[in-house]
Structure 1
């Protein structure tokens, strides 16, 4: 999908305030409401906008421990890699899972209520997955920056 300047402005505003009304959004981007709503629908239909979500404060939600977990597999057969992926897909404590270049195969961003829960996740979940060779965890001490905003000026030009 080709994005023009107005599409990029719509994306910028919606990323910062997903609850903005179409009327207010249209005013902010210089359109009337109907064409603005049409553009938003096109961005949603194209898959560029994947959804809208509330951003929850982890500590207030009782999830005070975040960890970055590195996983190394014994081998990279399709069976082991897919088995590991299937194990993680439905784990609620896994916020993100990335396949990586370098020494480790996967990097996880995990959130749990306390150290005991992290230990349980590591010992009873990760280390029991067939093919896992090494698990290294680092506890997040402080979140310096957390953002879901994609810099729209970097998106494909007109």
Structure 2
């Protein structure tokens, strides 16, 4: 699928406001409502739009603790990585899990109702491969810049040939 200027604009607008009406979206990207809707459906079908989500103000809803955990596995086998990934995927409080390169193997973002529940999650992950898992926990004190979408303009910027 071609990501022309209009498709890029549609993605940018939807990323900032997924509840925008098709009419308003069409106006923002200078298309007819039917053409705009067709493009959005195509972007969804191609998997470029994966889901629509609301960004919740968690501190207003409930008490919680956010922990960034870095995980190192002593067993570097594919099976160990798959086992750990599967376990992390099955824990609802693990809201993000990345396999990474560098000093550790996984980066987790865990949001729990309290430290007691976080400790239970930590113990579950440690017991998964007894003696083979090292977890370093970092409690988030304040969120300076929450995730609010990808910088599409910078990421999709085409490399322009150098002038001769």
TM-score category by the smaller chain?
over 0.9
1:156 CA displacement: 6.2
Give the equivalent residue in structure 2 for 1:126.
Answer: 125
1:31 and 2:40 correspond: no
**Alpha-carbon separation, structure 2, partners of 1:54 and 1:61:** 14
Q: TM-score, normalised by structure 1?
A: 0.92
Tell me the secondary structure at the aligned position of residue 41 of structure 1.
helix
Return 5+ residue gaps in structure 2 as ranges: 159-164
Count of residues in Structure 1 that have an aligned counterpart in Structure 2? 156
Q: 1:83-125 CA deviation, whole Å, 9 max, x = no partner? A: 11111112110111011111111110010111111111112x1
Q: TM-score, normalised by structure 2?
A: 0.89
Q: Which moved more, 1:23-32 or 1:77-86?
A: 77-86
Give the equivalent residue in structure 1 for 2:76.
Answer: 76
Return 5+ residue gaps in structure 1 as ranges: none
1:60 CA displacement: 2.8
CA RMSD of aligned residues (A): 1.4
